[in-house]
Chains A and B, each alone.
Chain A
């Protein structure tokens, strides 16, 4: 189907939980093996379709596999079973400011980070002012980023990432970034992206925000999909289950 932007098809992801991991040659030889591990399934047979232009939220307790699912979508991790098909240009906001080089100026880092996220030089040049204005660190843009406060650092990183202008945007718990006015700006930006028909998958614990911005929600629990669909219904089910 052409209007499916993301198809997650029976995806399972296993991690190895190491009881013993011999990363030095000595211990590997002495014990005659490189590791002792147990398989841990962080995602179990997850299937899900995201229609183009929709905003889908992932909810679930800590450790339920939300980040793992996003990372599989972003091709950072690879599923052990099943497959994921993405249609369109992808940007993932898993952690902002990764790849910043502390000694380089904010300006250089915008270019570097932009290209890590897949923007071309020309694109960054065009959007440069917009990125800097959005971040609100214009006075410091030619300072090395190691002199930035952690808030400034995160804002600049977020600002670069959100200007990638992808078809599909994956966002993992980074909405809680920066002060209130910056958060308001971010919320506005998301509205703008939605209007522009972007597909967004977002992880958050702010159920209220999710309810207002998502078309549907997916509730994950221990790697299983417990419920999907209308935000109010899923939140009710999640809350009901969660309660003591």
Chain B
């Protein structure tokens, strides 16, 4: 069988599994696909209430967009985070969830993780489109100029998240603890990245403390978090409507490359054994 036939064959399987994911999820609900927007909206309402009304959090207005709307500022970081967190969380469980299939049929097992990511990406695309329209309505018209860049970075984040999901899905087969551990890590991770607060607050603390050792500051350590870089880029593009910082761009590309390489390596090393160890 030629490689070309194989690719076509498994591309169709990939598309069909993605559709299964999307179609099966909201079956027999009245709102259907709209439910996927409900979670980010609910979070937005709660966080906006807490952080503008109870705790005054005022991130810098968008520059040059001039936007100054906390819920929109929040969503620019929150939507990418929710996407990342969903891809990792759900991708991690796909091998266990499809155990019966893996034991009965041959196909490249990575299709399972990839289609789980793709289904989540479809929802994310819808969310981001709504957000872009909302940003424009609130005055950031120039956001449309940055759409091509936005798509590139959405793809990079998808690659990054999928790489992690591939590696963790294997880890989870060996140690079922993985999913519980990662769920908690993701919950904490949300507060370790500048999603509900601006990074400038971290800088204030970091400057107050001074260098921790040698020249390394708290901020430097904080910025080791890959999601910090991605969120910085998304806020630049969406909320400020300007070029992202060059080092952030490089960091995003590198993180994505490292994650996907590692993920594919771990996955391909173990995929043959899956039917046995599951």
Q: Are A121 and B12 in contact (CB under 8 A)?
A: yes
Query: Size band of the B side of the interface?
Result: 20 to 34
Are B275's CB and A99's CB within 8 A? no
- Are B177 and A116 within 8 A (Cβ)? no
- B175 engages A23 (CB within 8 Å): yes
Q: Mark A144-166, 1 if CB is under 8 A from B, else 0.
A: 10000000000000000000000
Tell me whether B177 and A104 are in contact (CB under 8 A): no
Cα A75 to Cα B28 with chains together (Å): 37
A98 within 8 A of B: yes
Does the CB pair A23–B174 fall under 8 Å? yes
Known: A75-B106, A116-B107, A117-B105. A15 touches B12 (CB 8 A): no
Please name all residues of chain A whose beta carbon is closer than 8 Å to the beta carbon of B199 when the two chains form the complex: none
Nearest B residue to A90 via CB reads: B106
**Chain B residues within 8 Å of A75, by CB:** 106
Q: CA separation between A108 and B12, bound complex, in Å?
A: 14
Cβ A74 vs Cβ B175 within 8 A: no
**B100 CB–A CB distance under 8 Å:** yes
B101–A101 contact, CB under 8 A? no
How big is chain A's contact interface, by range? Answer: 20 to 34
Q: Bound state CA distance, A78 and B19, in angstroms?
A: 30
A112 sits at the interface (CB 8 A) = yes
Cβ B9 vs Cβ A76 within 8 A: no
A15 to B98, CA, bound (A): 21
A34 — nearest CB in chain B belongs to which residue? Answer: B174
Within 8 A of B (CB), among A52-85: 71, 74-78
In the complex, which residues of chain A have a beta carbon less than 8 angstroms from the beta carbon of B9? 118, 120
Instruction: For A104, give the chain B residue with the smallest CB separation.
Output: B24
**Interface residues of B, dominant DSSP:** helix
Interface centre among A76, A77, A89, A144 (most CB of B within 10 A): A76
A25 CA to B9 CA, complexed, in Å: 38
A25 to B98, CA, bound (A): 23
Given contacts A23-B176, A76-B106, A99-B101, contact A15 B276 (CB under 8 A): yes
Which residues of the partner chain A approach B190 to less than 8 Å between Cβ atoms?
A: none
A25 neighbours in B (Cβ, 8 Å): 175, 177, 181
Chain B, residue nearest A71 (CB): B275
Q: Which of B156-212 contact A (CB under 8 A)?
A: 174-177, 181
The A-contacting residues of B in range 253-276, CB under 8 angstroms, are: 272-273, 275-276
Whether B24 and A92, one on each chain, are in contact in the complex, defined by CB atoms closer than 8 angstroms, is: no
Per a CB cutoff under 8 Å, which of B101, B102, B106 touches A92?
B106
**Given A24-B175, A112-B17, A115-B12, A98:B104 Cβ within 8 A:** yes
Does A111 lie within 8 Å of B176, measured CB to CB?
no
Alpha-carbon gap, A224 to B112, bound state (A): 35
A28 beta carbon closer than 8 Å to chain B: yes
B8 at interface, CB cutoff 8 A: yes
CB distance from A108 to the nearest CB of B (A): 7
Q: A34 to nearest B CB, angstroms? A: 7
Residue from the list B16, B27, B175 in contact with A115, Cβ < 8 A: B16
Please tell me if the beta carbons of A76 and B104 are within 8 angstroms of each other in the complex.
yes
CB B172 to nearest CB in A, in angstroms, measures: 10
> What are 18 contact pairs spanning A and B, CB under 8 A?
A25-B181, A89-B1, A92-B105, A94-B104, A95-B100, A95-B104, A98-B103, A99-B100, A99-B105, A103-B27, A103-B28, A108-B20, A111-B16, A115-B15, A116-B107, A118-B9, A118-B13, A120-B8
Apart from the given pairs A98-B103, A144-B27, 14 other A-B contacts in the complex at a CB distance below 8 Å: A24-B176, A26-B177, A71-B275, A74-B106, A76-B103, A76-B106, A90-B106, A94-B105, A95-B100, A112-B17, A112-B19, A112-B20, A116-B105, A120-B12
The 9 closest A-B pairs by CB, nearest first: A98-B104, A75-B106, A25-B177, A103-B27, A115-B16, A115-B13, A99-B101, A95-B104, A76-B275
Q: Footprint of B on A, CB under 8 Å?
A: 15, 23-26, 28, 34, 71, 74-78, 89-90, 92, 94-95, 98-99, 101, 103-104, 108, 111-112, 115-118, 120-121, 144
